[in-house]
Every structure is written in C-alpha cells, then in structure tokens.
Structure 1
Amino acid sequence: MPGKYDDLTKSQLIELLEKRDRTKKLGLVWERDELEADAAVDENFIACEIIPELSDKPAPWKNLVIEGDNYDALRWLRMTHAGKVKCIYIDPPYNTGNKDWVYNDRYMDADNRFRQSTWLEFLFRRLALARDLLTEDGVILVSINDEQRALLELLMDEALPGMRIGTLVWRTRTGGNEGREAFLSDNHEHILAYGQRGFRFAGTEKSFSIYSNPDNDPRGDWTKGDLTVSVGFRDPRAGKGYYPLVDPETDIHYPCNPDAVWRYASRKASGADARIKTKFIEEWIELKQIVFPTEQRVAVWHTMEELLEAIEDGEVPTSGRSPTIRKDLPDLNYWIGKKVGFGTPRFKRFKDQLRNPTSPLSSWITPRSEIDTQDSSDNSIVSGTNDEGAKAIKSIFGEKSFNYAKPVSLIRELLRQSTSLDDLVLDFFAGSATTAQAVMELNAEDSGDRRFIVVSSTEKTADEPDKNLCRDVTAERIRRLNLSSDPKYAELIAGFAYLRTKDVLFEDIDYDLAPAEAWTALEALHDLALTHYNAELPYNVHEGEAVTLVLVDRFDSSLISWLKGRERHNLFIYAWAPGLIAQHLDSGAFDIRSVRETLVKGFQQ
C-alpha cells in the first residue's frame, strides 16, 4: 500500500519536517495539509472584472462589491490593498451544520472524527490573508456564538499571533425564558477583537463632574488621585518608593503603605545623582500637586513602648484595614517623637493634563431596549438585537430575503469605535451588506468619507443554479438605499463598483488577463478610485490627487506629447512590454514598470 508521503519530493519533505519542528506543542490542533494550504495561495492568479451594469452611481467608485469566493477575493485584495484596511468586520458561518450556508456540505461532515477541522481550516486560511490587509493600527472584529467561541479564539491566536485585544458581549435578543437543560440563557454572542499594536478603540466620553477648583488654582480644575502603586516594599520593583512622606508646612509625617509604595521616588532616599523618568516627590510637593489631609487624627509617640502599645491596640494609621506601621517593618525608631498623620496624601490631577480624553470601551454591549432601565454609563456601545436586523431587511426588500442579519446599529457603533472619518472597512462575509449600510449611516452622521469593500459569493447550488446572493441581496441592498425615498435613508449614498473574480493561470497572464482587469488592479494598488477602462485608446490615464497612473496597451506617439512638461513625481507608467516603451522615453526620468511583474510580485508576496 502506498504511503502518505510517497508522492512528496525531497524538498517538500524537508519543508514539512521543518514546519513540524516549529509547530507549538500547546494550543489548538486541527487536521490540515500544510503543503496543500501553501500551494493553494498561489495556485492561480486572481483577476477582478468590473461589471458596469451591476455597479451603481457614476465612476469613479470608491466602494467595492466583490462577487466570488472570499478566499479568491482576499488573495486579490492582498495584492491591491495590503496594509490599507483599518477595520475588518466579519460574521462568518458558525458551523452549526444547518443548511443555511452553502459551504456546510463541504466544511461540516458529521461522520468525520475531526468534524471541526475543515471549518477551522476554512477560516484560518482567510484570516491569515486578512491579517496582511490591516493598517498598522487596524483591527479585526469577528462575531461568533457561544458554542464555537473557544475554538475560534484559539484559531485566531494561531492566525493572528500577538494581536488579541479581548471580547465584546452582545445580547442577540431580550426576553425569553428558554434556558436549555441547565437553565442558562444563550441570548448572547461574542465579538472577538484582534488588532495591530497601534489600534485603540475610541472609548466613551469621560464625565468631568469630579473635577473642580476649590482652591482657585491657576492651572484649572482638578481632582484627587491615588499616590501609590500596588507593589510591596520588599518587591524589587518598589525601587525607592518606600519612605515616610512629610508635609513641609505642618511637619506631619505619613507612613508608606508597605503593600503599596509611593508612586514617585524620593530624591532624599535615592541620592543626589539618581536619575528617574518622572519627577521626584519633593518636586511634586514644590509644585503643590501633593494634597495633604487638613482634617485628620495626628498622634505623637514619645517612646518605643508607647508605639508598640499603639500597634498592639490598632491605634496606628491604616490603609483600608491594614496597618501601615507594624512591628515587622524596618526603622520603627523613625516614628518616635514625630507628628504622625492618620490621613492619606493624594495627588492633584488636573483636567487639562488628562492622558486620554475618553474612558475605555466596555466589554458589554447594552441592548437599546434596556438603556433606560439600567446604569449603562460604562457601556459605550448601545445596540439593537437580531430583531432589528430582520426588520431592516424587510423594510428595504419588502420581505425577509436574508436570514440572521446583524442589526445595523451594532456594526455602526463598532465602526464608530474602530475607525476615523476616511478609513477603509472590509467585510468578506458580507451577506446582506449590513456592514456597508453601517458605513453609509456613520458617514451621513459625521460627514465622514469612510469607504467599504464587501465580498459575497453567489451561493448557487445544483438545486439553485441561478442563485446569486451577491447580486440580488448584497449589492441590491446598497442600490435600494441609494434610491430610497424613505426619510430615514435619505442621506445614505454610496456608489460602488461591482467586481467579479476570475481565475487566470500564471503562465497565461499575458494572454488571459484583459487590460481592463489589469487597469482595475493597478488603480486599486495605487489607492485610486476605480474607473472604466477605454479599450479603444492606446493608453489610459488616471490623474489622482497624489498619483498619476498610465497603462500603455500599445505605444502611440501621442504619449510622448502628453508627457512633455508633465510633473513626473508620483507618475507611474505601466506596460506589457516596458522595454519597448523605454526605447521611446528617457527611462531614467520616468518610472516605467511591467504590468505582469508588478501584479505577480504583489500577488505572491
């Protein structure tokens, strides 16, 4: 019987062994063929063709709707949009085994002992590609149910190492008494957040009610803050933070909490030559930013016996219930004869010196129906439930044309937290285009210029060969919003190019890649809105604000005339045979590039 590895070459066997040596022994394990997975990325070249009759609004188009397998679409996007996407939101199939997803027959095999492996591999390949699309401060947000959350989180740890931020919890519905066998409600889902190092949620506006200026400080409103850090005095990290703090105006001495030393070092304790990153406590005192207690108990122990008796009786300063002067602490003699304060010095924090103008995002998303019935001050996101998503679909299409649509409010608020006014948003499980509508609503609200790319397949089957989810639901929802006379949709406008993926063998690129498809890829590569390609012209030109793009299909002397006096900075000339173009131009003065080499190199990065 032939072995599993008989058909592999020596180099493939070595590569497989090296990968196994690098594989972590602890973590999620699923059945996968690494060689096949690596080969699949570059199995063929992917082109995208603009379908004019399915696109909406006149060109140029900033937004894209892509019809095709999202694995193919992601491979094309990695070539054209690597490092450009600020936020990726996806609501992938939950691998329930139900027949509400066209891939279930391929990725969910109940008889397979590794029945989850195909689902995990399906997502792993797509997440690994999606990672390369993120900006340096980008984020991926993924919706998932309770049943699959643990597996998906481990998978994302593998696909997006070091990027885990945390989890948001969203109530999918309110009410209902179903609690299953254990009487535990599952009326919630999770949104897993994985981001690049530079990513931060916007947060929620801080309340400044705690700030005031009772002493008319010229530096403005302030509040009292903690002056300690949670480090014990024996901990090496405590440094020079364990010392008595003295109020120079009253000569009252304050013992340091041995379990939480002072935040700032003392110059006296550190030495005159010490260097620190911030100010010494003596400097803060001089700046009047240490607030000493004004009404407090003050004690003086004249002998060691008096002090030890006070410690025994619990008549010493405390932090919470813990005494700050104990028998086991060093240098008890220091406290003999001193005025000792029982209060706690605090740090004066000014409103104008706040590091962050907002508070962190809460991990709990408040249902809109409960906003008036609970304290939601910490819940930055307020969202509708699944019921809202169903109603939105019906209001746009007049019928329930898509199941399990997320509410627009949920995705809109996630995007509000995750994007700025001109960022790019991607959803490669677009379904009913809720993400696109969320971008449109947010732009209408804050006059933003966010763009979206949504990817959806046809989901046609042998039983439904004419089905086209992308055309009839994903793109159609955006078209209807663009045309809607409903007042609540009046401000929602987003033209888009409708693209369809196409397979091309690498060896046939020169023959099978149409100039229009190359033009689309090059425009996207240079961050230009997409335009129609005119095949009748010998060369096409797109002059953007920052870049000028030229695609030469066949040389024409008019190109030389057009280039005379043209600003050559950020002017890119592409040709199928760049050498022939260079013969007619000063190749040292112009950036002339090969169409084939540029696209293939970008595709196989």
Structure 2
Amino acid sequence: MPTLQWIGKDAVVNHHHKVPFHLLKDVPELSIGDPGSGNLIVEGDNLVALKALLPYYAGQVKCIYIDPPYNTGNEGWVYNDNVNSPVIREWLGKVVGDEASDLSRHDKWLCMMYPRLQLLRQFLRPDGVIFTSIDDNEVNHLRCILDECFGANNFIADFVWEGALKNDSRFVSISHDYILCYARDREFLRVNQSRWRTRKEGVDEIYLKVEDLKKRYGADYGKISKELRAWYSGLSKNDPAWGHRHYNKVDQRGVYFPSDISWPGGGGPKYEVLHPITKKPVKVPARGWVFPSWERMAEFIREDRVDFGEDETKVPTLKRYLHETEGQVLPSVFYKDRRAAMKRLRQLFGKDVFDNPKDEEVLAKLFEAVTEGEDVILDSFAGSGTTGHAVLKLNKQDGGNRRFILVELEPKIAREITAERVRRVIHGYGDTPGLGGGFRYCSLGEPLFDERGQIKPSVRFGELARHAYSTETGEPLPRERVPNTPLLGVCRGVGIYLLFNGILGDKSVDGGNVLTRTVLENLPKHDGPKVIYAAGCRLGRETLRAEQITFRQTPYEIKVT
C-alpha cells in the first residue's frame, strides 16, 4: 500500500510509545453532579492525556469523534510535542502559519496528528469506530494517515457536511466539510452483522399524538385513526411528521399504513382467501398475492397483520408498522446550516465564546447510529464541548446511559467553555430545562515514574495497580474492581498480583513489597498461573515453577512509556 512521507515522519511514527504515563489529578471544585457517572473532562495536552487514560479505557471505547485543527493557517495552533528530533525541536512553541509564511505547515500538522491517531486506535473496541472532521486543507493527508493507522480496509465512508453558502468567495463557494469514518475492524462488524440506524425525524411526535388519543378514546382504534388523519392534515409540510402521514391507521400493535399486498411485477399466486366476517372469498389483486403460499398468508392473518375491507369486494392490504420501519441509514451527504450551532451556543452563554463550534444535533445523529446503552464516546479535541452536549442530549432522547470522555488542551477553554457548557446543559439555562447527569473534572498530574525510571513516592497503590494490570494484559482494570487487594484480577485464566506500598499491611524491606514464602501464603488464592509484580523475590526457581508464578520486578518490568 502506498504511504505518505513528510518531514519528521521517522521521528513520530513510534513517538506514542515514548510518551510517559502521567497520573490524573481530580479537580473536585470543577466536577458536577455524581462523579461516578462515568463522564470525564480532562484538562491538558491530548497526547499526554490519552496516554494517561489508556490504562483505564484501552479497548473500551465504542466511538471516537475528533475535530482537530483544520490547518487553515489562521487558527493559531502551536506544535509542542517533545519529539527527539533536531528538525522538530525547531518547531516548538511557534504558531503554525499559512502556506505563504510556513512551508512546513503540513509536515507539522501530520507530525501532530500521527501519534494521536495511533493512541486513539488503542482505545477502540473491536466494534469501535472513529469519526474525524476536516476540510479541504488536510483531507487528502488525513485520509493517507488514517489508512496507515487504521488500515485502508477499515475505511467506512467520507461524509460530506454541507453548510451555509458563502457568497464572498473569489471563485467557488466552499460550503462543505468532511467527516472521515473508519472502523477498528470492519470485518468484525460484517461478521457480527452490525447495522447502523437512526430514528426518522417526526416519529416521536406521532407516537406522542397517538398516546394522547388513546387516553381520550381508549381502545376505539377507529376513532383514534380518524383523529390521527385529521391531525396530519393540520400539519405544515415542513413538519417532519407530515412526511409519515401515510401511517394513518392504529391498532393494538401500533401505528401502521395499509400497503399493497400484491406480487411485485405480477404473476403471483391467486389462491382463495375468505373474508373474516362474510366468510366469502375476497377480491384477489390483479398481480396475485404477495405471499407464495396460503400457509404464509394464513400466518399473517392469524397475527392480525392483514387489513380486510368492510366486505369481500375490497382487496385486503398489508399492515406496515411505523415501529418496524422507523430506522434509517446514515446518508453520506447531508445539509445542516452551521450558523444554527453558533446561534444555540450564543444563547447558552449569552455571548460569542467560541468560533465555529460543531453542531450537537449532527453529532447526536452519528452517535445514535453507532452507540447504545452504556457505550463510551471519546473526544480528544473537545473545544466547546459539543460532544458532551450531544451525548447528554441523546441519552435524554432514548433513555441511554452513554458516557463521554472529553480532553481539552487550553485551561481557559477547558474550564470556562468546555466544562461550563456541559454544566449548563446538565442544570439547564434560560428557559431550556436541564438534561441531567454529571462529570468528573481532572487535570494532568505528575508522571508515574521519575527520570530514572523509579516509581514516584506520591504514587498510590490503586494508580500503579491499574498501570501494572494494563501493562500485563493489554486491557484496563475493570471499572467495578476496587484495587485494595494484591490480586488485581484474573485475565484469560492468569491471576495478576501487585505487591506495593504495603498492600498486605507490612511496609518493611522484608515485608509486603517483596515476594517471600510468608507473603505468598498470605496472598489471595488463585488456582492457576500467576503473574506477581513486586520489588523483589526471595523464592527459588523451583518454587516459582511449582506455584506457576511469573515474577516481574517493579519498577523495571512495568512500562515507563
């Protein structure tokens, strides 16, 4: 497969491995609601933050959405990754300019994006997916590095988002952006028959109307159907529900429309079907019945899915229920005026606070198609907090409990815009009611290890436990486990242990941090292979073999980067 080359690529291809692990530091005064809700906002450089989050969320994220700098030349972004390269060191701290003033702007952007994409891939579940917003400035380069990081065979689609027409362009009005979509493993999606669907607009409005009519008329479905048709006739043609006006009948199963019951193209069977009341053969459609056999037709009649007329002179119809067809596939080209998102954000804050925010309604549609239940959604270029808003909005709509992780570099933006927007959305603002929820706010703490590779004295057992477990298994320590025991967990039949910080109650040199016979006897039991991380080991090879123990010495056998 052809690959893209650029200045600095050799230095950044493996840079994500060299980024040190940092701790996450709680900032409780900026957290809102239940800190255990699973929602998280992290303030700090997203490359470092992603590495810090990896022991907790590797392989756990269903959907990633990112909106990185478009590299237009006027965004004011600065390249600041600490890469061991003379060329790259010359870029540090300098604002990336436009094409005329900065000939290496594309190289800088690619060097910034590549290690972040490599880390992001490690967060995705086998059925996970990533969406990346971009425009013409870097879309070709982005497609190349996404192919390289995720695999060209995992490309799903290039969405085209058309916004408002600009009439001030010299040549052509560029009114669209792109959203590139890649799967973690497209073949996994195919084998598991994954289907991405969103609810058609206007459907919920119809359901609410029918529920209201049921309260008035009970089980009198004739009156309910008549009133529903009258309601449709009073709708504006711009109302999304108006487009479903053919769903104008109601029975005990739901809202339906009477559809054609004849064989497509003609030549279908013409067996006899009796009317349920007159007991006479009903009129057969000219093209024959849609069902190839009477047995299949009888099955649908028993299930009350065939709508008969008043007598046998009418051709029956087939009931097509709205709840069975309410899903629709995502279109690859769509229109949504970007000014609407800007207007809503202005209303939320009472002033303009952020340029070009993404539209939470668009993101909610993407998330609706690919996520459900308690899925985790990650955004490492959080900006104005649109992703958090979209997740809360979607949960409110469908009763889900999706969780978001937002990472924002700039402290002022993270605190005063990202977190503040989500806070207002949770509690409500103006006449807009709150969506509920909460989030935990964190900043980046110190590195887990010092410059000599030693574990820092301030590191707590739980922090190192998650790190050691992730190092050994490639998976995060399950969220429900509280690491207050040396047996961190069992993964694929192997017990993972950590002796650190006197977890067994003995902090002496010969005590709980060193694997001795006494310590081994006091460890929680696991009948099978064991991996034990400890500062030292005083057991012989025969004992280790007999007890099925693989010893790993801390800190040297825990990944520093």
Aligned to 2:121: 131
Matched, 1:202 2:196: yes
Q: In structure 2, which of residues 498, 501, 515 is the aligned counterpart of residue 553 of structure 1?
A: 501
Q: In structure 1, which of residues 165, 189, 204 is the aligned counterpart of residue 156 of structure 2?
A: 165
- What's the RMSD between the two structures over aligned residues? 4.6
Aligned to 1:585: 522
CA-to-aligned-CA distance 1:277-334 (integer Å, 9 cap, x gap): xxxxxxxx99699xxxxxxxxxxxxxxxxxxxxxxxxxxxxxxxxxxxxxxxxxxxxx
CA-to-aligned-CA distance 1:143-201 (integer Å, 9 cap, x gap): 1113322222222112211211111111232x5433x233x221211111111324455
Would you say the 8 A contact 2:499–2:514 is kept in 1?
Answer: no
Cα distance in structure 2, aligned partners of 1:470 and 1:76: 17
Q: In structure 2, which of residues 518, 533, 536 is the aligned counterpart of residue 594 of structure 1?
A: 533
Instruction: Identify unmatched segments of 5+ residues in structure 1.
Output: 1-23, 215-222, 227-245, 250-284, 290-348, 368-384, 459-466, 559-574
Shift of residue 604 of structure 1? 7.2
Aligned to 1:360: 329
Aligned to 2:179: 191
Distance 1:247-1:418 versus aligned 2 partners, 3 A rule:
closer
Q: In structure 2, which of residues 133, 149, 173 is the aligned counterpart of residue 143 of structure 1?
A: 133
Cα distance in structure 2, aligned partners of 1:449 and 1:391: 28
Shift of residue 540 of structure 1? 11
Aligned to 1:67: 43
**Max radius of gyration: which structure?**
1
Q: In structure 1, which of residues 96, 99, 106 is the aligned counterpart of residue 72 of structure 2?
A: 96
Q: TM-score, normalised by structure 2?
A: 0.61
3-state SS of 1:528 partner: coil
Distance 1:181-1:134 versus aligned 2 partners, 3 A rule:
same
Aligned to 1:271: none
Cα distance in structure 1, aligned partners of 2:39 and 2:396: 15
Distance 1:39-1:98 versus aligned 2 partners, 3 A rule:
closer
* Aligned partner letter, 1:160: F
* Aligned partner letter, 2:450: L
Cα distance in structure 1, aligned partners of 2:340 and 2:465: 37
**1:227-306 alignment, distance < 5 Å:** none
Cα distance in structure 2, aligned partners of 1:40 and 1:130: 10
Would you say the 8 A contact 2:160–2:333 is kept in 1?
Answer: yes
* Aligned partner letter, 1:511: K
Instruction: Identify unmatched segments of 5+ residues in structure 2.
Output: 80-92, 201-243, 245-255, 271-290, 296-317, 471-475, 490-494, 507-511, 536-551
Cα distance in structure 1, aligned partners of 2:97 and 2:397: 41
Cα distance in structure 2, aligned partners of 1:72 and 1:393: 29
3-state SS of 1:411 partner: helix
Shift of residue 85 of structure 1? 0.6
**1:135-534 alignment, distance < 5 Å:** 135-161=125-151, 162-173=153-164, 175-178=165-168, 180-182=169-171, 184-195=172-183, 196-197=185-186, 198-199=188-189, 200=194, 202-204=196-198, 212-214=260-262, 224=264, 358-367=327-336, 385-458=337-410, 468-503=412-447, 504-505=449-450, 507-512=452-457, 514-515=459-460, 518=463, 521=466, 525-528=476-479
Cα distance in structure 2, aligned partners of 1:47 and 1:97: 34
3-state SS of 2:264 partner: strand
Shift of residue 211 of structure 1? 5.1
Cα distance in structure 1, aligned partners of 2:534 and 2:431: 47
3-state SS of 1:482 partner: helix
Would you say the 8 A contact 1:67–1:501 is kept in 2?
Answer: no
* Aligned partner letter, 2:68: P
Cα distance in structure 2, aligned partners of 1:599 and 1:136: 31
Distance 1:593-1:550 versus aligned 2 partners, 3 A rule:
closer
Shift of residue 589 of structure 1? 3.2
Q: TM-score, normalised by structure 1?
A: 0.57
3-state SS of 1:361 partner: coil
* Aligned partner letter, 1:190: Y
Cα distance in structure 1, aligned partners of 2:260 and 2:6: 58
Cα distance in structure 2, aligned partners of 1:581 and 1:445: 56
3-state SS of 1:511 partner: coil
Cα distance in structure 1, aligned partners of 2:335 and 2:556: 47
Distance 1:557-1:69 versus aligned 2 partners, 3 A rule:
closer
Shift of residue 409 of structure 1? 0.8
* Aligned partner letter, 2:436: L
